């Protein structure tokens, strides 16, 4: 994505020497002149913790070297799911993360952040943001590849994506109860009317894949065809890919917000448009 964005924006692709001191501390050095230039840093924020400190140092260093603005382009935005205190003693890390990013960057570009109880990034981010919606592009992809689809969302949170992708096609949203990060319980209505359709399961994030796998089980148990599984952001934590490869699915497809062999839906163009809108 990086080279394509740079070409489309007619921007210079500059090197940064990012390294570690022997004790593990971060060393970085820009090898270009940043005076009065806009710097765009592209870094998807899957596995965010090891990426964060180097990113903050890059932003601060660029500013110290005279950069005009430092824009973070994070196609996947981390820490959006802990958007409330679910249990006593927890923190609302969505807010803390947004504070950290807002303190170091001048603007943010991202794709479909997990907005649920927080309805707009401006509720927690204090910098200009551009949000790209993948749904219209996923819709075109499905139209070009799938006949007679029926769309399924595994939970209430997925409804916004599933409905936007489905347009006039039938949509069924299941009910999910999350027991913990490893276990979910999903219930679905009678689906016998959809046996001649091609099921398309859509979620914004596939992490452990338990949500997808439980939904796939339901479709299989009810005698539907193996589903096409679409995730906007494929995080694929732990054994997710292994489990999905052994599940009864037609295909696994993701958007290119996190580089992975399942990437089939291209969002580079809208990302370029969003960056352009900030420049
Ligand atoms: C949460 O509500 C999200 O929309 C996804 O459903 C969730 O992150 C998927 O997680 P996992 O793949 O671990 O079940």
pLDDT of residue 152: 98
Q: Is the CB of 210 under 6 A from ligand 1?
A: yes
pLDDT of residue 190: 97
Q: Is the CB of 157 under 6 A from ligand 1?
A: yes
Does pLDDT of 184 surpass 90? Answer: yes
Q: Is the CB of 38 under 6 A from ligand 1?
A: no
| Cα separations in angstroms, 81 against 84, 95, 205, 256, 267 | 8, 10, 10, 20, 22
| pLDDT averaged over every residue in the chain | 96
Q: If pLDDT is split at 50, 70 and 90, which confidence band does 187 have?
A: very high
Task: Specify the pTM.
Answer: 0.95
pLDDT of residue 236: 98
Question: Among residues of the chain, what percentage have pLDDT more than 70?
Answer: 100
Question: Per-residue pLDDT tens for 216-256?
Answer: 999 999 999 999 999 999 999 999 999 999 999 999 999 99
Buried b / exposed e over 16-25, threshold 16 CB at 10 Å, is: beeeeeeeee
pLDDT of residue 126: 98
pLDDT of residue 81: 95
Does pLDDT of 1 surpass 90? Answer: no
Question: 207 C-alpha vs ligand 1 centroid, how far in Å?
Answer: 6
Nearest CA to ligand 1 atom 2: 157
Does pLDDT of 170 surpass 90? Answer: yes
The answer to whether the beta carbons of residues 103 and 78 sit under 8 Å apart is no
Q: Output the 3-class SS for the chain.
A: CHHHHHHHHCCCCCCEEEEECCCCCEEEEECCCCCCCEEEEECCCCCHHHHHHHHHHHHHHHHHCCCCEEEEEECCCCCCCCCCCCCCCCCCHHHHHHHHHHHHCCEEEEECCCCCCCCCHHHCCCCCEEEECCHHHHHHHHHHHCCCEEEEECCHHHHHHHHHHHCCCCEEECEEEEEECCEEEEECCCCHHHCCCEEEEEEEEECCCHHHHHHHHHHHHCCCCCCEEEEEEECCCCCHHHHHHHCCCCEEEEECCCCCCCEEECCHHHHHHHHHHHC
Q: Is the CB of 209 under 6 A from ligand 1?
A: yes
Does pLDDT of 181 surpass 90? Answer: no
Q: State the average pLDDT over residues 143-156.
A: 97
Q: State the average pLDDT over residues 20-41.
A: 97
Q: State the average pLDDT over residues 272-276.
A: 97
Q: Is the CB of 235 under 6 A from ligand 1?
A: no
pLDDT of residue 70: 98
Pairing of strands 228-234, 251-255: parallel
Does pLDDT of 257 surpass 90? Answer: yes
Question: 17 C-alpha vs ligand 1 centroid, how far in Å?
Answer: 35
The answer to whether the beta carbons of residues 45 and 74 sit under 8 Å apart is yes
Question: Per-residue pLDDT tens for 36-61?
Answer: 999 999 999 999 999 999 999 999 99
Does pLDDT of 138 surpass 90? Answer: yes
Q: If pLDDT is split at 50, 70 and 90, which confidence band does 111 have?
A: very high
pLDDT of residue 124: 98
Question: Per-residue pLDDT tens for 58-99?
Answer: 999 999 999 999 999 999 999 999 999 999 999 999 999 999
Q: What is the CA radius of gyration of the chain?
A: 20
Rounded to 10 deg, the angle between the 2-9 and 268-278 helix axes is: 50
Question: 14 C-alpha vs ligand 1 centroid, how far in Å?
Answer: 36
Q: If pLDDT is split at 50, 70 and 90, which confidence band does 3 have?
A: confident
Does pLDDT of 182 surpass 90? Answer: no
pLDDT of residue 239: 95
Q: Is the CB of 83 under 6 A from ligand 1?
A: no
Q: State the average pLDDT over residues 15-44.
A: 96
């Amino acid at each position: 994505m990086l080279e394509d964005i740079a070409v489309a924006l007619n921007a210079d692709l500059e090197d940064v020497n990012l390294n570690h001191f022997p004790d593990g501390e971060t060393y970085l050095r820009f090898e270009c002149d940043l005076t009065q230039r806009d710097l765009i840093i592209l870094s998807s924020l899957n596995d965010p913790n090891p990426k964060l400190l180097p990113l903050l140092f890059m932003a601060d260093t660029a500013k110290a070297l005279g950069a005009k603005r430092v824009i973070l382009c994070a196609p996947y935005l981390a820490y959006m799911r802990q958007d409330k205190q679910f249990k006593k003693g927890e923190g609302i890390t969505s807010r803390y993360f947004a504070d950290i990013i807002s303190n170091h960057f001048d603007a943010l570009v991202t794709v479909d952040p997990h907005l649920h109880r927080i309805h707009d990034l401006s509720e927690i981010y204090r910098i200009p943001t551009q949000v790209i919606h993948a749904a219209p592009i996923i819709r075109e992809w499905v139209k070009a590849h799938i006949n007679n689809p029926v769309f399924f969302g595994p939970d209430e949170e997925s409804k916004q994506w599933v409905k936007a992708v489905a347009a006039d096609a039938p949509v069924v949203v299941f009910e999910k109860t999350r027991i913990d990060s490893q276990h979910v319980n999903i219930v679905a209505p009678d689906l016998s009317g959809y046996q001649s359709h091609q099921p398309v399961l859509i979620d914004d994030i596939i992490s452990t894949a338990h949500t997808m796998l439980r939904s796939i089980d339901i479709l299989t148990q009810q005698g539907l065809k193996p589903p096409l599984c679409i995730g906007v952001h494929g995080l694929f934590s732990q054994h997710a890919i292994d489990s999905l490869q052994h599940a009864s699915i037609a295909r696994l497809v993701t958007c290119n917000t996190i580089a992975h062999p399942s990437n089939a839906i291209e969002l580079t163009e809208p990302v370029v448009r969003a960056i352009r809108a900030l420049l």
